[in-house]
Structure 1
Amino acid sequence: MRAAVVEQYKKPLVVENVPDPVDDAGGVIVDVKACGVCRSDWHGWRGEWPGFTGGDLPHTFGHEFVGVVSDAGKSVTQFKPGDRVIIPFTLGCGHCWFCRTGHSNVCPDITMPGFTYDGGFAEYVHVPNADSNVVPLPDAVSFQEAAGMGCRFMTAYHGVVEVGKVHPGDWLVVYGAGGVGLSATQIASGAGANVIAVDIADDKLDLARKVGAVETINSSTTEPIEAVRDITGGGADMSVDALGIPTTLRNAVGSLRRRGTHVQIGMTPEGEGGEVALTINDLITNEIDYRGSFGMPTVEFRYLLDQVSTGKLHPGDLVTRAIGLSDVNEALDNMTTYKTVGTSVVTDFTH
């Protein structure tokens, strides 16, 4: 099969023929029809997350993939060849306490396609523990749109709705108008929140308005914390850092009113590069609620997919480019310089 392979960190991916994945009794093989290119892939490509990948190269990234089951192991009861499926990027073991209580995204034995093993920048991917991990994809949702909801949209949905518990009328400030930030903007707006999007690029802020932001702030020309306080009359009810760098994290927390809630979705590099200083006394005296959010458990997918199927949410609006495997290099390079607008999705695996 063809795959876009990282042979050296920070160097162009090589599109080449690699061995097909091997199935097991409890897994399925997915014929990949579309795969999003995410900033998490960028972190991996730059070698910033060796704890996820084990640091071993060559490696195939790609964790936002959807497709059709091409083969099912003998123990699989819920899926068969020909089924349309979407795959969470966090795959639980299926039998631990966290998986059994609906929190597969924090399973201690989690596996992640594209990170802990080769992923969706390829024609085929193996998915283990299929009955507990694979999710049926409704016919009403196209493969391209489903790949667009991949990591970023599902992650934003879990963070905003389940972890953040956003309410209609809340003021929510989202720092970063990339894939996760735009997704959070659309989802929160759909839930009735008043969303303020913050970024350094006007084209991204324009798209944020199109998907639901009621206010936008260009933080390269305007001090964002004071601007948020002016707009909201004292501070946001909830903030999301969708980027994961010290500036956006601190600004997001600093934009909150007293007793506000911060949801951290953007991930930082491993090691010292991921350590961000916060003034703890401010968190304490203002009773700030700081929450982490990672991926989305399998059990929540039906709520998200039902909203997409019925047209209440539109992740396809965030897909701005359909590309081929070799174009992943350009998408990753653009992330380095923050030139991406919306989501790029691989739909052509022939070049």
Structure 2
Amino acid sequence: MMRAAIYRAFGAPILVENVPRPNLSQIREGGGGGGGVGGVILRVRACGVCRSDHHGWRGHDSDVVSHGLPFVPGHELSGEIVEVSGSSSSKFKVGDAVAVPFILSCGACLECDNSRPTTCEKQQQPGFTQWGGFAEYVAIPHADRNMCHIPENVSFAAAAAVGCRVTTAYRAVVEQGKLKDNATVAVFGAGGVGLSSVLVAKTFAKNTQVLAVDISEAALATASALGADATVRMEVGADPADAAEAAKAALGKPIDITIDAGGFTDTARAALLATRRGGTYVQVGLPLSLPGFTGDHLARVAGHEIHVVGSHGAAPSALPTVLDAISDGRLAVSDLISRELDLEEGAKALMAMDNATHAHPGVSVITRF
């Protein structure tokens, strides 16, 4: 048995209970996908508390709905291997400390063949397609293909952030946004992914100017502490066009890359309106719906030749790059982590995300199970 934070109805209290511990046979039977190839069992050492898990708890994620209840959230995790599936895993052994991307690609579909693991047709996702990391143990399929060893000087808490928020930001800003030296970058939504985007933009290119936009003064203060050159407070209910104009004025020059890290109608509209002619708009926040978008927005995309790209998670190849940057001190992920929680506190923190205007700034990580 193991302790896990579990909900038995969408929106119902998330309670810590004793539940059966996962085993390798569940992976072989398809519970983790992929016929058990490279399957491992991890003792979870850290798991982030992310708004995407809140969407799942509220019943807004189709993968969680398809899986069915009861359910254990948590997709941003790191841990220590306690079981390996026979001889099928050649890269990892019992006792290894590993980071886990939340997209576990299969390696056999058309998308994987085309080197696009983030759009894998048969991807598994702890915390969405299977029970996740708000638990003492979790089953991970396709370990050889997806997991990455953690450098000795990188904490489990920092490595958990790498599993989603930081690598998601890396793909959005560097890979999809095509970050270059001297770029101007505006990040709309200063939650975990947004703050990570600020860090990434300041770390992986020279002389970048980075702006953060959010409704929370506390979140903006955190963005400034992480290196944002300017911030703009976006008033709740205000016209997104005003926030866009304020963003352009704050940087004093056209904005090359805009990142909607919030996934809300207002952040998406403001980000698009702030993007310069020929610039790039990256949608990385996952919207539930965008009712404010109209043909006028698409006309702007066409007329200004704005490059609109989606971004979802990160490829396993990004993990070593990001972990090395943390290890050598270039990427200060520890500055993102604002609190470490126990399992009960983590469950309460997830439920508290109902109130977006009072969200805790920075990244919360469960490290006590």
| TM-score relative to the length of structure 1 | 0.95
Higher deviation after alignment, 335-344 or 105-114: 335-344
1:265 aligns with 2:266: no
1:283 aligns with 2:298: no
Q: Which residue of 1 aligns with 2:331?
A: 313
| Alpha-carbon shift at residue 147 of structure 1 (Å) | 1.5
Map 1:135-174 onto structure 2 (within 5 A). Answer: 135-174=148-187
Q: Which residue of 2 aligns with 1:34?
A: 46
CA distances 1:174-207 after superposition (whole Å, capped 9, x unpaired): 0011100000001101223211100111111011
Q: Which residue of 1 aligns with 2:75?
A: 63
| TM-score relative to the length of structure 2 | 0.90
Equivalent of 1:44 in 39, 56, 66: 56
| Alpha-carbon shift at residue 149 of structure 1 (Å) | 2.7
- Listed as ranges, the gaps of 5+ residues in structure 1 are none
| Separation in structure 1 between the aligned mates of residue 231 and residue 257 of structure 2, nearest angstrom | 16
Q: Which residue of 2 aligns with 1:298?
A: 316
1:121 aligns with 2:141: no
Aligned residue for 2:71, secondary structure, equals coil
| Alpha-carbon shift at residue 79 of structure 1 (Å) | 0.9
Change in 2 beyond 3 A, CA 1:275/1:136 = farther
Change in 2 beyond 3 A, CA 1:247/1:344 = same
RMSD of Structure 2 on Structure 1 (CA): 1.6
| Separation in structure 1 between the aligned mates of residue 58 and residue 64 of structure 2, nearest angstrom | 13
Given residue 330 of structure 2, which amino acid in structure 1 is its aligned partner?
A: K
Equivalent of 1:208 in 223, 240, 262: 223
1:238 aligns with 2:257: yes
| Separation in structure 2 between the aligned mates of residue 31 and residue 101 of structure 1, nearest angstrom | 33
Aligned residue for 1:298, secondary structure, equals coil
Q: Which residue of 1 aligns with 2:102?
A: 89
Percent same amino acid at aligned positions?
40
1:228/1:235 contact within 8 Å kept: no
| Alpha-carbon shift at residue 224 of structure 1 (Å) | 1.4
Deviation beyond 4 Å, 4+ runs, structure 1 = none
Given residue 195 of structure 1, which amino acid in structure 2 is its aligned partner?
A: V
Aligned residue for 1:115, secondary structure, equals coil
Q: Which residue of 2 aligns with 1:15?
A: 16
1:42/1:332 contact within 8 Å kept: yes
Equivalent of 1:72 in 70, 81, 84: 84
Aligned residue for 1:150, secondary structure, equals helix
2:209/2:251 contact within 8 Å kept: no
| Separation in structure 1 between the aligned mates of residue 354 and residue 183 of structure 2, nearest angstrom | 33
2:213/2:247 contact within 8 Å kept: no
- Listed as ranges, the gaps of 5+ residues in structure 2 are 29-35
| Separation in structure 2 between the aligned mates of residue 194 and residue 72 of structure 1, nearest angstrom | 45
Q: Which residue of 1 aligns with 2:33?
A: none
* Number of equivalent positions: 346
1:226 aligns with 2:245: yes
Q: Which residue of 2 aligns with 1:347?
A: 367
Equivalent of 1:250 in 269, 275, 278: 269
| Alpha-carbon shift at residue 135 of structure 1 (Å) | 1.4
Given residue 334 of structure 2, which amino acid in structure 1 is its aligned partner?
A: G
